[in-house]
Amino acid sequence: MTSELPRPWPALWESALIKACPEDFRVDEQLGFEPEGEGEHLWLHVEKRGANTAWVATELARWAGVTERDVGYAGLKDRHAVTTQWFSLHLPGKEAPEAPPQSEEFKVLSAVRHRRKLQRGALSGNRFDIVVRDIQGLPAGGEERVAQLLAQRGVPNYFGQQRFGIDGGNLDAARRMFAGRRVSREKRSILLSAARSDVFNRILAARVAAGCWESPVEGEVFMLAGSASVFGPEPISDELLARAARGDVHPTGALWGQGTLRSESAARVFDLGPEQNCSDLLRGLEAAGLRQERRSLRLSVASLSVARSGAAEIRLAFTLPAGAYATTVLDALGPCLDGGRGRS
């Protein structure tokens, strides 16, 4: 479970509750660009509450009279939340029905045309507004310590529990797939992602435990902040140490696949650590044809605000890049009970 992975510092509270209601966990998708205003695709800005992204896509396809393949969205958003995100519908040469669907689960906020379908991953990040309730053990003024740690150090860039399914079931299914069980193309993608994410989390957990998740070690491969560009390995210099301390560059870990592992020396030892306990996942990812890639070990938390909104309650607002998880930020602060889990 991701909540049991090592934290970068002692927990700031003993227990807390998130997602007591959908309004406690708000997510606003940020595309990083504006739709053009013309084209074959109708883009809809949608607010959903307590609804699954794929289900909303199905409802929009039914309303527009198109197949589900003609619906695009940039990413899955948490069901137990209030979220805004974009969907695209391929409607070449025709208009959509006049009245967009509206329900308790979702509503269309606006519509605009664009030349292209909205592809998975085509977003710059997400803005979160989260209420953490029933906090036990956070002293008076503790919210200032929360803000200081998140702003100055960020958090370990773990993949969130969402990647692994209920009770980690996606990992068990990935192992069965690697052993020869046939699965659908869509399910295969989900299981490969879960296996790769687990391997990365193991690498990162070892570096958190060793105290070097935010500082480079010999043989490090670096990622430039705000991009996916990597460089190295190269000898560690005072300049590199200063850039890492400022957050200009981040140490990285392996996203496992075929090819030569780029890291060297001590960094390579950490990257090869999962060989001891989950070599079956490594071999399965290689056989599936994935290529070696890198992911930042550190997640920077941008546009941060933290305020106490009650005696045992704080409110956090922050922005994360695409592929990062708000629950990763919360788990770094202390144990959180997810009030949304297990709800129908």
* Cis, peptide link before residue 156, omega less than 30° from 0: no
239-291 residue pLDDT tens: 999 999 999 999 999 999 999 999 999 999 999 999 999 999 999 999 999 99
Token reading at 83:
């979220």
Q: In the block, which residue shows the tokens 């940020």?
A: 30
97-123 residue pLDDT tens: 888 888 889 999 999 999 999 998 888
Indicate the fold that domain 33-114 takes in CATH: Pseudouridine synthase (3.30.2350)
Give residue 215's pLDDT.
Answer: 94
Domain boundaries, the chain: 2-24+125-152+302-338, 33-114, 155-299
Q: What is the mean pLDDT of residues 191-208?
A: 97
Under CATH, which number does the domain 155-299 receive? Answer: 3.30.2340.10
Q: State yes or no: is 172 an active-site residue.
A: no
Domains 33-114 and 155-299 share a fold: no
Q: Do residues 256 and 285 make contact, with C-beta atoms less than 8 angstroms apart?
A: yes
Q: Do residues 249 and 294 make contact, with C-beta atoms less than 8 angstroms apart?
A: no
Higher pLDDT, residue 249 or 75: 249
The model scores a pTM over 0.95: no
Give residue 344's pLDDT.
Answer: 30
Q: Is 2 exposed, middle or buried (0-12, 13-18, 19+ CB in 10 A)?
A: buried
Q: Do residues 98 and 288 make contact, with C-beta atoms less than 8 angstroms apart?
A: no
Catalytic residue among 24, 78, 198, 331: 78
